Structure 1
């Protein structure tokens, strides 16, 4: 039985962090459209660390759609020199392995897979603390 797709974004202005929670059977185009919409509302989205929680999602994001996002992102970022962290929370080793493929499309970002949101937040919080120091 198919589970209804849903994605929710929570923007934390104080921590410069965006949390995306994805659930149900993944609809790649709708997912990428939502990310682009959220990023478009932020003046400098590349300054935000991001956490993607896929624990309640089923399926894979289509690589062509990820490539579409990468092209949009690079147009938006331009030649800016930036570095951001991206934590991805997944349930299985296959999803963890795919993170490295996506990382090649976003070379100025550090992506790391986690199995819990707490671990991901701890990693992101440590990164933010180092930036403030």
Structure 2
């Protein structure tokens, strides 16, 4: 029996944060495609700080798909003068290492890895635990 997987993307327009959570063993190329599709649906995803949660992702994002996403992002943000903050949450040492190598592919953004989503949200908002977060699901 095959395992289920998905990418969930939510927007917090109050704090200008996009939250993406990856679940299960999604194939690398499909994950890249789904990120591109979800970000395209948003319209201007570069206007949001981003929290990318890989804690429940049991696959591995291949270098060629990381590069493909980075190229797409570079095209989209070519005329955007400043980047945003991007927080990655993962418990996988291999994925964490890959993410850190990706930092150079996104020179406008400030990126960090975190062990918990709470730490990531604190960093993204510049606040402590009093941040109220109410995510809004994207329409399918």
TM over 0.5: yes
Deviations 1:30-71 (A, max 9, x none): 211111112112332212111111111113101111111111
Task: Answer yes or no: is the 8 Å Cα contact 1:99–1:111 preserved in 2.
Answer: no
Q: Where does structure 2 lack aligned partners over 5 or more consecutive residues?
A: 128-140
User: How far does residue 3 in structure 1 lie from its aligned partner after superposition?
Assistant: 3.0
**What TM-score, normalized by structure 2, do the two folds share?**
0.82
2: CA distance, partners of 1:51 / 1:121: 7
C-alpha RMSD of the superposition: 1.7
- What SS does structure 2 have at the residue aligned with 1:104? helix
2: CA distance, partners of 1:43 / 1:5: 24
Task: Answer yes or no: is the 8 Å Cα contact 1:2–1:25 preserved in 2.
Answer: no
- What SS does structure 1 have at the residue aligned with 2:105? coil
1:87 — aligned with what?
Answer: 87
**What TM-score, normalized by structure 1, do the two folds share?**
0.86
Task: Answer yes or no: is the 8 Å Cα contact 2:39–2:45 preserved in 1.
Answer: yes
1:130 — aligned with what?
Answer: none
Which consecutive segments of 4 or more residues in structure 1 shift more than 4 A?
none
Q: How does 1:26-41 map to 2 (within 5 A)?
A: 26-41=26-41
How many pairs align?
127
- State the structure with bigger RCO (CA 8 A, min sep 6), 1 or 2: 2
1: CA distance, partners of 2:18 / 2:123: 14
Task: Answer yes or no: is the 8 Å Cα contact 2:21–2:54 preserved in 1.
Answer: yes
Deviations 1:82-127 (A, max 9, x none): 1211111101333222222111111111111111111111111108
2:16 — aligned with what?
Answer: 16
Task: Answer yes or no: is the 8 Å Cα contact 1:46–1:82 preserved in 2.
Answer: no
